[in-house]
Amino acid sequence: MGKAVEKARTRMTGISLQKVAISAATGVGLALLVLAWGHWWPSGNSWYLTAALGVLLVVAAGVVWMFGSIIVLSRRRQIVWWMLAWPLVTVLGVTFAFLVRPEFEDARPEFEEVAEQLLATPGPTAMYDLKIGRFDILRADDAPDGTVYFADRRETMFNTEQGWLYSPGGMPTARGDRLTIEHLGGPWHRYKMASP
């Protein structure tokens, strides 16, 4: 009788440790995803690493959850509550991470204030390392045609620059060979520029 109790206690400890590991990895992974996608932490391009680590932790927890569920189902032949909790929490957490991503529309007044300030200053001007709302702006500069470019630090890397441009005079003139512009409404556009 003592061996059976000890064996059951060892099995329960293993399952409890598995639940703790799954919960911890999922919690940390989801927190990293929310921080990275919500533009709270870290700044610059290193958010890719944070998001990748978050995804890796959630996937690792999912693999452990899957094998644990298979083992429990093969032994008990019934579903246990924790088997349903992990997918539900994960789906809700990932959904929340996507929902907290900042929208340009929410920060538009602050962007317009900076654009008007740059346009009011005579000559070509630029501002560096700005935080507008939750957006990390690498550079904001005005062009001779009256267009103000805002380079998004989180989306600008290697030979591609992305961001927003303020062009009160209509459609902006080309600033490079490979400029793609999407109109957002009013004087605002989203741009992507690739360097050769």
The residue extents of the domains of the chain are: 2-99, 104-194
Residue 85 has pLDDT above 70, yes or no: yes
Residue 29: its pLDDT value, please?
96
Name the least confident of 9-13, 58-62, 81-85, 119-123. Answer: 9-13
Per-residue pLDDT band at 31 (split at 50, 70, 90): very high
Q: What is the mean pLDDT of the chain?
A: 87
The pTM for the full model equals 0.78
| 130 CB-near residues (< 8 Å, 6+ apart) | 114, 136, 137, 140
Weakest mean pLDDT among 82-91, 96-105, 169-178: 169-178
Which residue has better confidence, 55 or 175?
A: 55
* CA–CA separation, 142 and 116 (whole Å): 10
Q: What is the pLDDT of residues 32-79, one digit of tens each?
A: 999 999 988 888 778 889 999 999 999 999 999 898 888 888 887 777
pLDDT in the model for residue 9: 54
Q: Quote the pLDDT of residue 3.
A: 66
25 has pLDDT over 90: yes
Peptide bond into 42 cis (omega under 30): yes
- Residue 153: both structure tokens together: 């630090």
